[in-house]
Amino acid sequence: MLDEPDSGIARWRRIADDLKRAIADGTIRDRAPAESELAERYGVNRHTVRRALSVLNAEGLLRTERGKGTFVNPQAPRLSYPITARTRFSENLARQARSPAGRLIRADRVAADGPLSAALGCRPGAPLHRLETLHVADGVPLSVATCHFSAERFPGIVAAYAETGSITEALKREGCADYRRRETRISAGRISPSDAEHFGLGPDAIILLAVAIDVDLENRPIQAIRTRFAADRMELLVETGSEPS
Amino acid sequence: MLDEPDSGIARWRRIADDLKRAIADGTIRDRAPAESELAERYGVNRHTVRRALSVLNAEGLLRTERGKGTFVNPQAPRLSYPITARTRFSENLARQARSPAGRLIRADRVAADGPLSAALGCRPGAPLHRLETLHVADGVPLSVATCHFSAERFPGIVAAYAETGSITEALKREGCADYRRRETRISAGRISPSDAEHFGLGPDAIILLAVAIDVDLENRPIQAIRTRFAADRMELLVETGSEPS
DNA sequence: ACGAATTTGTGCGTATGTATT
DNA sequence: TAATACATACGCACAAATTCG
């Protein structure tokens, strides 16, 4: 099928393109054939198939699980995450997705290191609550966030979040009526192994990284957030329409 | 060196980590040893070294050129690119870098397709100027942008940009005194082969993708821009400090 | 509960092609 | 032209995780 012309293009690349097409038109739906079968079908070595699969894996089209097989990632249209002074996860996605939800993955206490103490305006070594939260919409994991709060100022933040599933609500219970986003720094990189598991993505998936600082109404830093978005499921939207200069 | 304990971690991963360390502490500087030599040094097959190198390549630490060798990418600290209503490349970087410059890579005319005509508020099929520009600071390529302008409204934009090297100046000559950014959509993905060449990065490098729309003072769309940033050289900064709500 | 079959992950050795020096 | 260096591809073997009878 792919062996007639000496096209000058690597076989793994042609196979990758062919698999992409097969996924797009539904020939490959839920689960991809085993590597060994694809190798036989294309008349190539299994390594060559694996090279092709790794491309689709990195692009988020496929997810490979050792011992189980290779599966097609459900591809929803990319959701928009607006970044404004009032950036909140649940409000942001309430209109685009059906069931946004935040779940606590992990919570512990750490000491503020240099960058963190600078961001939060506390002394180095100050005790912090660290929350790791997973955000899901329509059953699809969209982002994982690591938040840092002053343990002195918000002693009960962990329990409050665990109950409410919302940072905004948890902060209200801790006496912070409102807050806003001061800045967001956006970069991109490869996913970490633990995040890959949470997202159900392969180890070469790409994430959007947003590092942000929220402040209270007196402009004092409340939390430092490090959010990882699955790059093929989300985009960040910055609207600068009304700003004068 | 790496073969004593059966650490349960793949050899290519350990080699990748070791190479990273060697790059960080300057043991490997300008150019990396040939794959065959690394293989011999680590006592592994060349394939195993290549697997390790591909990781560093994807992270932008190395750049591999066929027939020539593997080279260490100069790693400047990541520059910040503020996104505001007045986003302009040269102003943005003037304070952080020494010699920002824009160069025209390619210019041609295309017909507006669906998304483009919607973004620019013109009829589908309308003639557009398409400019591809490369932006460099301190000799390091930071971004490649593809801009679309109405060919009817800005007939001489290409020549004007070629002369001035600045979109802002070129628009002034074409009768558009000022403009501002309406929105920016940020996502991430793998680099394209042609961009990889412009950036001097490997084929698995990661880019930040910013798709933006600029409008004139009457809020009419002027240009649609698709900027690709080398993710390991730039971060985007969104400041939402003053916004009321 | 347990072993066999399946499936992916890692690694070696070899060979050949292609670009650069 | 020859030597060097990276790119692709095959085949083999075994490890590790999962599935299934």
> Each residue of B31-88: pLDDT tens digit?
999 999 999 999 999 999 999 999 999 888 999 999 999 999 887 778 899 988 877 7
The 10 Å Cβ neighbour count of residue A95 is 7
Q: Which residue is nearest to nucleotide D19 (CA to C1')?
A: A68
Q: Quick one: pLDDT at residue B8? A: 80
Q: Quick one: pLDDT at residue B1? A: 46
- In this structure, is residue A244 part of a structural domain? no
Per-residue flag: B11 CB under 7 A of strand C: yes
Nearest to A149 by CA among A107, A184, A180: A107
A94 and A210 housed in the same domain: yes
A126 and A217 housed in the same domain: yes
B241 touches chain A (CB under 8 A): yes
CA dist B122 and B125 (Å) reads 9
A130 and A66 housed in the same domain: no
A98 and A173 housed in the same domain: yes
- The pLDDT mean for chain B works out to 88
Residue B4 scores a pLDDT above 60: no
Interface probe for B, chosen from A46, A236, A237, A242 (most Cβ of B below 10 Å), is A236
- In this structure, is residue A245 part of a structural domain? no
What is the spatial distance, in angstroms and rounded to an integer, between the CA atom of B141 and the C1' atom of C21? 27
With an 8 Å Cβ cutoff, are A208 and B189 in contact? no
Contact A143, A227 (CB under 8 A): yes
Contact A199, A191 (CB under 8 A): yes
B84 and B65 housed in the same domain: no
Q: Quick one: pLDDT at residue B245? A: 41
B101 and B180 housed in the same domain: yes
What is the spatial distance, in angstroms and rounded to an integer, between the CA atom of B53 and the C1' atom of C7? 27
Domain of residue A160, CATH code:
3.40.1410.10
A60 and A112 housed in the same domain: no
Q: Quick one: pLDDT at residue A244? A: 44
Residue B182 scores a pLDDT above 60: yes
Examine the fold and report which residue of A44, A72, A100 is the final residue of a domain before the chain moves on.
Answer: A72
Q: How many domains does chain A have?
A: 2
B89 and B51 housed in the same domain: no
Which residue ranges in chain A fall short of pLDDT 70?
1-7, 89-100, 241-245
B53 and B144 housed in the same domain: no
A118 and A200 housed in the same domain: yes
Give tens-digit pLDDT for B135-149.
888 888 889 999 999
**Chain A residue with minimum CA distance to B239:** A183
**Chain B residues near residue A238 by CB distance under 8 angstroms:** 83, 183-186, 238
- In this structure, is residue B177 part of a structural domain? yes
B237 touches chain A (CB under 8 A): yes
Per-residue flag: A82 CB under 7 A of strand D: no
Q: Can you say whether the dihedral through the CA atoms of B86, B92, B95, B100 is positive or negative? A: negative
A10 and A118 housed in the same domain: no
Residue B229 scores a pLDDT above 60: yes
Q: Alpha carbon A74 to chain centroid distance?
A: 15
A56 and A118 housed in the same domain: no
- In this structure, is residue A243 part of a structural domain? no
Domain of residue B31, CATH code:
1.10.10.10
- In this structure, is residue A185 part of a structural domain? yes
Q: Is the whole-model pTM more than 0.95?
A: no
Residue B3 scores a pLDDT above 50: no
Q: Quick one: pLDDT at residue B128? A: 95
CA dist B74 and A97 (Å) reads 42
Residue B13 scores a pLDDT above 90: yes
Examine the fold and report which residue of A72, A91, A114 is the final residue of a domain before the chain moves on.
Answer: A72
Tokens 């002034």 locate to B172
With an 8 Å Cβ cutoff, are B208 and A189 in contact? no
With an 8 Å Cβ cutoff, are A240 and B206 in contact? no
A69: nt with nearest C1' to CA: C7
The residue count of chain A comes to: 245
**Domain, as residue range, for B211:** 79-238
With an 8 Å Cβ cutoff, are B84 and A204 in contact? no
Examine the fold and report which residue of A49, A72, A95 is the final residue of a domain before the chain moves on.
Answer: A72
Residues with Cβ within 8 Å of B241's Cβ and at least 6 positions away in sequence, in order, are A85, A182, A183
Per-residue flag: A110 CB under 7 A of strand D: no
